[in-house]
Chains A and B, each alone.
Chain A
Amino acid sequence: METPNISTAWPLRDKTAFAGIGTSAFGSFPESDSYGLGCAALNAALDDAGLKPSDIDGLIVNRIPSYERFSEMMGINPQYCLLTEAPGRFSGVSLSLAMQAVATGAAKTVALVYGNNGRSVRMKYGGGDSQWSPWGMTSPGAIHAMMWRRHMHEYGTTHADLGWVAEAFRHHACLNPDAVMHGKPITREDHATARPICEPLALLDYCLINDGAVAWIITSAERAADLRRPPVLISGYARQDNFTYGSAPPTDFWQSNLGAVRDQIYTRAGIGRDELQGLGIYDNFTPTVLFSLEGLGFCKPGEGGDFVRDGTLRLGTGRWPTNTSGGHLSNSYMQGWEIIAECVRQLRGDGGARQIPDCHAMQYICATNIAQSVILRRG
């Protein structure tokens, strides 16, 4: 990968900001759906920002079936509107589209709304017709299980290493009254003895499936400064795709494209790794957290297990408090949207019992074939 040119500042650095965030409750809500949950989240975000639906001139919806119907419901007639793809990597992609829309003047104030009623509709993340389904190979969990066994073989990591990730995020969920797994602590022993789902991964390596919604309101840094809450600036965003894996699990744990993100993100943000107080990592499965840490250079390839041992990711004990609301594993499976919202809460000092002390900058990482990272800072 090319060395970034540090003499030219990234043009979007600190130009856009989070002006509002909001969520629905998380859990099982068969009496609602992704529209109802999305409306609740957007209303919470509008109240947070001190805005009305008529102030919104850009709209991005995700996992809400129709942007037309959602706009009609909320009485929004934007000048910029789209629906993004369902996979969780599109939380970060959607954020980048909103940033671009604001920066180019396509819209002034963009609402992004994610709604998911996967629990109520008994959504299965597996099955269906795909390249390998005739052999029973299906589900994102199985792809991660395949990679994780290889990682253990190549580097000597163990399933017990993942227990540190699961235990830390559950601890955070127990500090978060809104988390689905609030009040249900687990131990690393529980992680080790959980029933297998797709070996080598077991139940507590898997994210939750629950209903809920998250909304963000993105606007320019200048406009955000005049709104109700302290703005959280989007300092940097970097992305590198890698679709060359031949439909099979990637044999490099996404290190190639994560490495390209690592080479851009800190330079773009103008914020170094040592200046960060905490992380948000897309944790669909526990191994992804280690792949993310290795790929972004928090440790060397293969050393993710050593890195998380002894509670490095755990609030209060570790240098790198990660997914302080509990993440996908223990708070809410909102496909990156809630993890990014939690970074915003931390930077505003809204973390309550789970607040990271003196929090100025946070980094989000998503390890997938669209590898991405975002650095946010207090405005």
Chain B
Amino acid sequence: MLHYIGRRLLQLIPVLLGMTFIVFLIIRAIPGDPAQVILGQQATKEAVAALRASLGLDNPWYIQYFHYLGDLLTGDLGESMRTKVPVASELWPYLGATLELSLCAIILAVIIGVNAGIISAWFQNSWFDYAAMIIALIGVSMPIFWLGLMEQWIFGIQLDMLPTSGRDDARNPVNPITYLYIIDTIIQGRFDQLVVVIQHLILPAIALATIPMAIIARMTRSSMLEVMRSDYVRTARAKGQKMFWVVYKHALKNAIIPVLTVIGLQMGMLLGGAILTETIFSWPGIGRYIYDAIGFRDYPVIQSGILVVAFMFIMINLLVDILYSIIDPRIKYN
């Protein structure tokens, strides 16, 4: 097992290298000059040229690439061209915000999605099955933008129950330590703030969870249906096992493997792809951070931001692969 993990980690290197290379090339291929964007519309041509030189943008692209790689190897993610702050120190608060939101969303999606899928499969062709699958279909095709604004309108304005923007109450802000506000408020014993933080999490987490939830529900259902027809399930029932145990113990164990894959992929997507949710709910997360950086052609931020997200994506999927063998001992990695 350790051997396997080691090998997988080694495989990471070419994957990440290839990715930095592709990202590097793509962002330089699109038109738009960071020096011009930084200096603003007022800038003189001379000023733009001088800035290009000092940012090293006048070097050929491969020289720039090797400089970047060299810095990366020494653990230097570079410095934002726009804010002049090192990316590594800028990145963590955004990453913390995104992690907190996407973890909540994925937990929500898994709990509701997996159970809805199981029950749908268990009572196949019942009203619950139809209703759940129709809702799931709507969920998959729902534009997040619209869903988010509707949530704000209903729960924020009409019902006045929940806040609609940000992570905390601006008038009574959380003092960040880890930038995972749930943990920060608990460490500091500020349970009044913990409640506020959770309230701020609810609407964006639901918006973000909707699509993965629907996908997970549909995946679980089809996977369960297949397993439920297999011989060993029939045997379990024949020996008089209660249906609940047959479903949740015997069947689920085998059915969950493909679902796990989907969960891993979805979690990865949430990390980098929450831009819409982060925009609507003014969540200071990493998706928006990278998106803004693209608008400003802030090359180091785009490169390193995507690198970090990709790294986490790969790590989550590695974790999922390891989970396979824990859940199903027949799966062995040699």
A and B part of one assembly: no
Give me the interface of B with A, judged by CB distance under 8 Å.
none
